[in-house]
Structure 1
Amino acid sequence: MRILVSNDDGYFAPGIAALAQALSEIGEVTVVAPERDRSGASNSLTLDRPLSLRRAANGFHFVNGTPTDCVHLAVTGMLDHLPDMVVSGVNHGANMGDDTLYSGTVAAATEGYLLGVPSIAVSLVSKGASDFSTAARVARDLAVRFMNQPLRQPMLLNVNVPDLPYEALRGTRVTRLGKRHKAEPVIKSVTPRNETVYWVGAAGAAADAGEGTDFHAVSEGLVSITPLQIDLTHTGQIGMVNDWLVR
Structure 2
Amino acid sequence: MRILIANDDGYLAPGLHALVKACEGLGEIEVIAPEQNASGTSNALTLSRPLSVFRAQNGFRYVNGTPSDCVHVALTGLLDYKPDLVLSGINNGANMGDDTLYSGTVAAATEGFLFGIPSIAFSQVDKGWGELDAAAQLARQLVEQVIADGLKQAFLLNVNIPNRADAASLPLRVTRLGRRHASEPVIQQTSPRGEPIYWIGPAGDAREAGEGTDFHATNQGMVSITPLQVDLSDHASLPTWAARLDRR
Q: Distance in 1 between matches of 2:191 and 2:73?
A: 38
Residues 1:126 and 1:246: Cα distance change in structure 2 (over 3 Å): closer
Contact in 2 for aligned 1:94/1:126 (Cα 8 Å): yes
What amino acid is aligned across from residue 181 of structure 1 in structure 2? H
Q: Distance in 2 between matches of 1:167 and 1:52?
A: 37
Contact in 2 for aligned 1:42/1:102 (Cα 8 Å): yes
CA RMSD of aligned residues (A): 1.4
Q: Distance in 1 between matches of 2:76 and 2:131?
A: 33
1:98 is matched with 98
What amino acid is aligned across from residue 61 of structure 2 in structure 1? H
Instruction: Write out the 4+ residue segments of structure 1 that deviate beyond 4 Å after TM superposition.
Output: none
Residues 1:168 and 1:48: Cα distance change in structure 2 (over 3 Å): closer
1:209 is matched with 209
2:125 is matched with 125
Instruction: List aligned pairs for 1:1-247, cutoff 5 A.
Output: 1-150=1-150, 152-166=152-166, 169-246=169-246
Contact in 1 for aligned 2:85/2:117 (Cα 8 Å): yes
Q: Distance in 2 between matches of 1:156 and 1:204?
A: 25
Q: Distance in 2 between matches of 1:17 and 1:153?
A: 27
Q: Normalising by structure 1, what TM-score?
A: 0.96
What amino acid is aligned across from residue 122 of structure 1 in structure 2? F
What amino acid is aligned across from residue 71 of structure 2 in structure 1? V
Shift of 1:109: 0.1
Secondary structure of the corresponding residue to residue 140 of structure 1? helix
User: Unaligned regions of 5+ residues in structure 1, if any?
Assistant: none
Residues 1:149 and 1:246: Cα distance change in structure 2 (over 3 Å): closer
Secondary structure of the corresponding residue to residue 221 of structure 1? coil
Aligned residue-pair number: 247
Secondary structure of the corresponding residue to residue 243 of structure 1? helix
Shift of 1:130: 3.9
Contact in 2 for aligned 1:32/1:74 (Cα 8 Å): yes
Secondary structure of the corresponding residue to residue 51 of structure 1? coil
Q: Distance in 1 between matches of 2:151 and 2:222?
A: 22
Question: Over residues 12-52 of structure 1, what are the superposed CA-to-partner deviations in whole Å (9 max), with x where a residue is unaligned?
Answer: 00000000110113221111000000000000111111110
Of stretches 149-158 and 204-213 in structure 1, the one that deviates more from structure 2 is 149-158
Q: Distance in 1 between matches of 2:24 and 2:168?
A: 24
Provide the identity percentage.
58
Contact in 2 for aligned 1:169/1:222 (Cα 8 Å): no
Shift of 1:66: 0.4
What amino acid is aligned across from residue 76 of structure 1 in structure 2? T
Contact in 2 for aligned 1:158/1:227 (Cα 8 Å): yes
Shift of 1:166: 3.0
User: Unaligned regions of 5+ residues in structure 2, if any?
Assistant: none
Contact in 1 for aligned 2:93/2:126 (Cα 8 Å): yes
Contact in 1 for aligned 2:178/2:206 (Cα 8 Å): yes
Shift of 1:152: 4.8
